[in-house]
A = this chain, B = another copy of it.
């Protein structure tokens, strides 16, 4: 499962609660993965059952206890194995393309509206990715970990730009 590996990857950086993880999924890794709360907690339970993580309950005053999940040595091994394992198949599922595929029977105006809505979504996604990347001039390979993390953002940006260019070409062809 990919989710459990992503969680292991986060725990490898710092011990976290399910709550902490959920926040990461909604922010720093949102551009390539998402996860429901219930799913996160279930997966954490399985990591513990498989000895890939251990829980430490931390008392806090004024706040609920934290169930801190720490990665184990077995966990780190599993993470490294995943990173080096055979690549996942190059497959995509794109609900938008599904609509486009069958949109040929619609009125031309409706097709344009479909494309226009997509353009808006893509543009706002682009803005968000760019702002997440920050103004940093492609941080040099001084810090390799940060370089790879920001590479995933640049990947998203490249794809959104490709989408916008494609939209323009399709619209033009429709005229």
Q: Chain A: residues with CB nearer than 8 A to chain B?
A: 2, 5-6, 9, 12, 29, 31-34, 79-80, 82-84, 87-106, 108, 110-111, 113-114, 117-118, 121-122, 125, 138, 141, 144-149, 151-152, 154-156, 158-159, 161-163, 165-166, 169-170, 173-174
Say whether chain A's binding surface is mostly helix, strand, loop, or mixed.
Answer: helix
Q: Which residue of chain B is the closest to A124 with respect to CB atoms?
A: B90
Contact partner of A99 (CB less than 8 A), chosen from B83, B146, B158, is: B83
Q: Do the beta carbons of A101 and B159 come within 8 Å of each other?
A: no
Q: Which residues of B contact A87 (CB under 8 A)?
A: 96, 114, 117-118, 121
Contact partner of A155 (CB less than 8 A), chosen from B12, B100, B117, B148, is: B100
Given contacts A34-B93, A163-B158, contact A104 B170 (CB under 8 A): no
Contact partner of A151 (CB less than 8 A), chosen from B94, B149, B170, is: B170
Residue contacts A-B, CB under 8 angstroms, 8 given: A32-B94, A32-B101, A97-B152, A100-B148, A100-B152, A103-B148, A104-B149, A151-B170
Expressed in whole angstroms, the Cα–Cα distance for A157 and B44 within the complex equals 38
Nearest chain B CB to A78 CB, angstrom units: 12
- Identical copies in the complex: 2
Extra pairs beyond A6-B98, A151-B170 (15, CB < 8 Å): A9-B101, A32-B98, A32-B101, A33-B93, A33-B98, A34-B91, A83-B103, A92-B156, A100-B151, A100-B155, A104-B149, A111-B144, A155-B163, A158-B166, A161-B162
